[in-house]
A and B are shown apart, each in its own frame.
Chain A
Amino acid sequence: MRLVRALLPFAVGLPALWAIQAAAPPQLAIILVTAGVNVILAVSLNMVNGFTGQFSLGHAGFMAVGAYTAAKITLAMGEAPANWSPWLWNNGAFTLALLGGMLTAALAGLAVGIPSLRLRGDYLAIVTLGFNEIIRVFIENMRWLGGATGISGLPPYTSVVWVGLGALATVVVARRIVGSTHGRALLSVREDEVAAEAMGVDTVACKVHAFVLSAAFAGLGGGLLVHYILLVTPKSFTFVKSIEVVVMVVLGGMGSISGATLAALVLTFALELMRGLDQYRMVMYSLLLVVLMLSRPTGIFGTKEIWELLGPKRKKAAA
């Protein structure tokens, strides 16, 4: 029964994604893929910045680790041998590559998380930003990773179905974690770290778990993205990218999965609609951040999910 519940979203989602892929014109497919990757990034960052209340500015670094690993794996696997079905080989290679990317990104998350999560608040933000830049500078200096120009000529494996499944998996994992005992421990760390520790929550372990999981999904997002644009360069993973993801999380509401998803979708589509105004994009992002912080610092949906706001109002117990 539990297995059925866990797999139900995929059973419903897969045919729907196939239908969308078949129906969508190519221009729409590009936007859908970008939107899906952004959903993966926003929801996974929300595990750290939203649920656990830690402020990470290094999401793009983990994306880079996952993207490069995945790119290396698919290039090493190459074309399908003659006696294999290309469909099976390609999708198998891609699955392997994405899992490999998630694994290395998770390991990078562990390596970054263990030392830096002892720090709090603004220091954590700066240190994760620092690690982001260190990862990027290292990649730029690795000749076998293509240096500053990166690796081009990746196989075009990413499709709407793949990105949709990735986004679905991220949302399902995030949702099931928040509802679990472990998720409540994460929320308690956000609400009051000292009190949580006094209640016997291993706060450092909690933060590291959330961080590693979030890094793994950032790696998934990175792997999916580069197999769509068919190019992986260090320039795509500067801390400016990390901040773009932060904007999505902050906009949607720190701690709200549906909020982050909606914000990622809305921002992607909105940006696509004003392509000609590209130079105003970051100006808008930054204005949005400042105005939002001044007027509604918890984000549009706060820690609530959308349906909690839409549903019949429940009376709050008197505090």
Chain B
Amino acid sequence: MSEFLQHLVNGVSVGTIYALIALGYTMVYGVLKLINFAHGDVYMVGAFAAFYIANALGVGDSPTLGKTLLVFTGSMAVCAGLGYAIERLAYRPLRERPRLTSLITAIGVSFLLEYGFQLAPFESITSMEFPPGPTPRFFPELFPRTVWLQIGEVAISNIDVLSLLVAIALMIGLEFIVYRTKFGTAMRAVSFDPQTAALMGIPVDRVISITFALGSALAAAAAVLVAISRPRIDPLMGMMPGLKAFVAAVFGGIGNVPGAMVGGIVLGLAEEFVAGYGVSSFRDAIAFAILIAVLLIRPQGLFGRQSVEKV
């Protein structure tokens, strides 16, 4: 029983991270019909941005709440800027071209971030150690880990609770933005039909830019949450979570905001339970098996709309 509970706790905590990343995929796909392959790497950049900010603030020596908040918002701001820049420079010029062109560009951007960050630091140019190089770095502790709740052998730490709460708060915030604000209405209109939306006076370009920034900020938040509980960060850390979060988004119905959240949690639980009770070395294959099954059985995902191809 306690083993089951432990897997449940782990699954939910991994799942919320997948969900936060999946939201970025789903929103971008919603407005642009593009799989933003580089999204997982924006997540990685988020972790490194937080790392540099935390070190600059000297969080390791004297952690305070204010600094923690600063690390969070700083990293989210950096990634929002990065997301905006990627969209502006790489995707916008290709918007009228075949979708495959944008996909290949997205793969290019993804590899550029992954391998660019693995280069040795240009110390002669900047005093900062940037790019970080291929060796993993250790994220400083923002606050000490304490056990919050002990049920039998299952320990739930303050970090688990905090990351769950932050993730839920961000999702509620996003839900509010998408369904209750003027911008959200514009975003849904663009997602439904960009041309008509433009005719109705919606600034489509700006909506797409903000969507990118929003999704990237969520990825950064996910990255900081992960870095707090598992402090090892490296330039390839976004590869697998990125792909898995994409699977979560497809599972929930790509383009669907609540679907991405459910998909993330389901994927986290599935991975944790199969790895816990079955063969742990197959962990990385589970997500892809789920993806293939979903696309074959219900390609529109759990909550997606069936789309009909018109000539």
Contact with B along A263-302 (1 / 0, CB 8 A): 0000000000000000110110111111001100100000
Check: B299 CB closer than 8 A to any chain A CB. yes
Contact with B along A117-156 (1 / 0, CB 8 A): 0110111011101110110011011000000000000000
A contact residues around B309 at 8 Å (CB):
194
A contact residues around B291 at 8 Å (CB):
126-127, 130
Check: A210 CB closer than 8 A to any chain B CB. no
Known A141-B282, A294-B90: A123·B295 in contact at CB below 8 Å: yes
Check: B51 CB closer than 8 A to any chain A CB. no
B contact residues around A294 at 8 Å (CB):
90, 93-94, 105
B162 to chain A, nearest CB (A): 32
Check: A236 CB closer than 8 A to any chain B CB. no
Interface residues of B in 96-122 (CB under 8 A from A): 97-105, 107-112, 114-116, 118-120
Q: Which residues of A contact B (CB under 8 A)?
A: 55, 115-116, 118-119, 121-123, 125-127, 129-131, 133-134, 137-138, 140-141, 194, 243, 246, 250, 279-280, 282-283, 285-290, 293-294, 297
Query: Which A-chain residue is minimally distant from B116 (CB atoms)?
Result: A283
B contact residues around A285 at 8 Å (CB):
111
**Measured CA separation A195–B296 after assembly (Å):** 24
Check: B288 CB closer than 8 A to any chain A CB. yes
**Measured CA separation A289–B109 after assembly (Å):** 8
Interface residues of B in 242-271 (CB under 8 A from A): 243, 246-247, 250
Query: Which B-chain residue is minimally distant from A194 (CB atoms)?
Result: B311
**Measured CA separation A137–B280 after assembly (Å):** 11
Contact of A115 with B99 in the complex, beta carbons under 8 Å: no
B contact residues around A250 at 8 Å (CB):
104
B contact residues around A121 at 8 Å (CB):
99-100, 103
Contact of A289 with B285 in the complex, beta carbons under 8 Å: no
Most chain-A Cβ atoms within 10 A of its Cβ — which of B104, B287, B295, B309?
A: B104
A contact residues around B287 at 8 Å (CB):
130
**Measured CA separation A137–B274 after assembly (Å):** 15
**Measured CA separation A282–B32 after assembly (Å):** 27
Contact of B90 with A290 in the complex, beta carbons under 8 Å: yes
**Measured CA separation A288–B34 after assembly (Å):** 20
Query: Which B-chain residue is minimally distant from A293 (CB atoms)?
Result: B105
Known A126-B246, A134-B288, A137-B284: A286·B35 in contact at CB below 8 Å: no
Consensus secondary structure, chain A interface: helix
Contact of A293 with B94 in the complex, beta carbons under 8 Å: yes
**Measured CA separation A19–B235 after assembly (Å):** 46
B251 to chain A, nearest CB (A): 12
Contact with A along B152-196 (1 / 0, CB 8 A): 000000000000000000000000000000000000000000000
Contact of A55 with B100 in the complex, beta carbons under 8 Å: yes
What's the A-B contact tally at a CB cutoff of 8 Å?
A: 112
**Measured CA separation A288–B112 after assembly (Å):** 10
Known A137-B284, A138-B285: A130·B105 in contact at CB below 8 Å: no
Contact of A137 with B111 in the complex, beta carbons under 8 Å: no
Known A122-B35, A122-B103: A283·B112 in contact at CB below 8 Å: yes
Contact of B103 with A115 in the complex, beta carbons under 8 Å: no
Contact of B111 with A289 in the complex, beta carbons under 8 Å: yes
B contact residues around A289 at 8 Å (CB):
104-105, 107-108, 111
User: Can you list the 6 inter-chain pairs with the closest CB atoms, starting with the nearest?
Assistant: A289-B108, A130-B288, A286-B111, A282-B115, A290-B108, A286-B112
Contact of A280 with B109 in the complex, beta carbons under 8 Å: no
Known A127-B291, A141-B281, A290-B90: A243·B107 in contact at CB below 8 Å: yes
**Measured CA separation A60–B288 after assembly (Å):** 16
**Measured CA separation A132–B66 after assembly (Å):** 45
5 cross-chain CB contacts under 8 A:
A115-B296, A127-B295, A137-B281, A283-B111, A297-B97
B contact residues around A287 at 8 Å (CB):
108, 112
Contact of B105 with A133 in the complex, beta carbons under 8 Å: no
**Measured CA separation A38–B105 after assembly (Å):** 22
Contact of A125 with B103 in the complex, beta carbons under 8 Å: yes
**Measured CA separation A253–B4 after assembly (Å):** 53
Contact of A290 with B105 in the complex, beta carbons under 8 Å: yes
A14 to chain B, nearest CB (A): 37
Check: B292 CB closer than 8 A to any chain A CB. yes
B contact residues around A297 at 8 Å (CB):
94, 97-98, 101
Most chain-A Cβ atoms within 10 A of its Cβ — which of B112, B281, B299?
A: B112
A contact residues around B93 at 8 Å (CB):
294
A contact residues around B279 at 8 Å (CB):
141
Query: Which B-chain residue is minimally distant from A123 (CB atoms)?
Result: B295
A contact residues around B110 at 8 Å (CB):
286
Check: B289 CB closer than 8 A to any chain A CB. yes
B contact residues around A55 at 8 Å (CB):
100, 103-104
B256 to chain A, nearest CB (A): 16
**Measured CA separation A125–B99 after assembly (Å):** 12
Query: Which B-chain residue is minimally distant from A294 (CB atoms)?
Result: B93
Query: Which A-chain residue is minimally distant from B93 (CB atoms)?
Result: A294
Known A279-B118, A290-B109, A294-B105: A133·B284 in contact at CB below 8 Å: yes
**Measured CA separation A137–B288 after assembly (Å):** 11
Contact of A246 with B104 in the complex, beta carbons under 8 Å: yes
Query: Which A-chain residue is minimally distant from B296 (CB atoms)?
Result: A115
